[in-house]
Amino acid sequence: MSALRRWLDGESGYPLRAGWRETPPKKPKTRPARRDDRRQLDGFLRAYALCAIVLCMLLALCLILGVAGLPPFADAGNPTNNEVAERYVGSAEEETGAENAVAGMILNYRGFDTFGESCVLFVALCCVELLLRATTPALRKEAEACEKEAARDAILATVARFIVPCVLVFGLCILFHGHLSPGGGFSGGAVLGAALILFAAAFGRDRVRRFFTRRVFDAVRISGLMLYAVMFGLYVFLGANGVESGLSRWIVQIIDVAVGLVVMSTMYGFFAFYTKGEL
């Protein structure tokens, strides 16, 4: 456990390299590779490939046989178009205040589910950070050299100067109109994250770090998740579907923005940790 602790504290680099096992591993019995072994292995691999192909063809066949038993495509009488969908579409507007029935469904009727999704994104970013954070000076130097090489591309910078503001406005539009038109927190957040990534790729990470520091990043993603939890709790305690639709519309919008914040910081965080190992 001490090796794991050292790794988590950032003192050691890759624990797989040394000290991961407390007891020294036994020396394996090595024996010279013989031609028989090689042939046996090749035979096994060929048989494995053949088995895999046959298995996948069988799988496709089974699935297509299953498809043949499905009800006709796009028919209004299909069992999927049942009273649940009718209820969601029929009373989404008056109960949730959202004209976009999908937004009303995922943020109000199924708000806990979407909260779980935001948590999944949050935890995924935590895992990526844990795995890829540049802990040793050598790794950090390597990442910096990598960034210097990539930045300062004249064509990219010129194009980005025009494109980034447009993408930002588009992302904000999607984000704030999520309850009225197609869009919402997830798509708006992804577009905003893409704008940030483009900005960082064109003008270097230091320019982003002027306004999006480590502290701001942590604050944005944690407060996004907290805002969601608080607003959804408020919505449930105020009476859930019974909340007056004018108020409910505001709650949907705030929850949408909270989801957008989480998604945006997650997208940018993935990019930052993959390329440089830190924000």
Partner 1 sequence: MLTLLVQNRYAVTASVLFAVGFLHVLLHPDLIRKVVAFNIMDASVFLLLASRGTVAGRAAAILTDGGADPSRYVNPIPAGLVLTGIVVSVSVSAFSLALIQRVYGVYGTTDLRRLLEAMKKRGE
Using CB under 8 A, list all residues that contact partner 1.
14, 16-17, 25-28, 49, 52-53, 55-57, 59-60, 63-64, 66-68, 70, 72-76, 78, 80-81, 84-86, 88-94, 99-102, 105-106, 110, 113-114, 117, 120-121, 123-125, 127-128, 131-132, 180-182, 186, 270, 273-274
Q: Which is nearer to partner 1, 73 or 211 (CB)?
A: 73
| DSSP assignment string, 130-145 | HHH---SHHHHHHHHH
Q: Which is nearer to partner 1, 88 or 212 (CB)?
A: 88
Neighbouring CB atoms inside 10 A of 259's CB total 28
Nearest-approach distance from CB 162 to partner 1, in angstroms: 28
Q: Which is nearer to partner 1, 41 or 226 (CB)?
A: 41
Q: Which is nearer to partner 1, 167 or 262 (CB)?
A: 262
- The angle at the Cα of 245, spanning 241 to 251, to the nearest 5 degrees, equals 80
Nearest-approach distance from CB 5 to partner 1, in angstroms: 18
Nearest-approach distance from CB 18 to partner 1, in angstroms: 11
Q: Which is nearer to partner 1, 76 or 154 (CB)?
A: 76
Q: Which two tokens stand for residue 80?
A: 């999927």
Alpha carbons within 13 angstroms on the beta-carbon side of residue 89 total 6
Nearest-approach distance from CB 13 to partner 1, in angstroms: 9
DSSP 27: P
Q: Which is nearer to partner 1, 94 or 153 (CB)?
A: 94
Q: What is the C-alpha separation between 236 and 61, in angstroms, rounded? A: 46
Nearest-approach distance from CB 148 to partner 1, in angstroms: 20
Nearest-approach distance from CB 69 to partner 1, in angstroms: 8
Three-class SS state of 230: helix
- In the chain the first and final C-alpha atoms are separated, in Å, by 28
Q: For the packed helices 83-96 and 245-275, what is the interaxial angle rounded to 10 degrees? A: 100
Residues 258 and 228: beta-carbon distance below 8 Å: yes
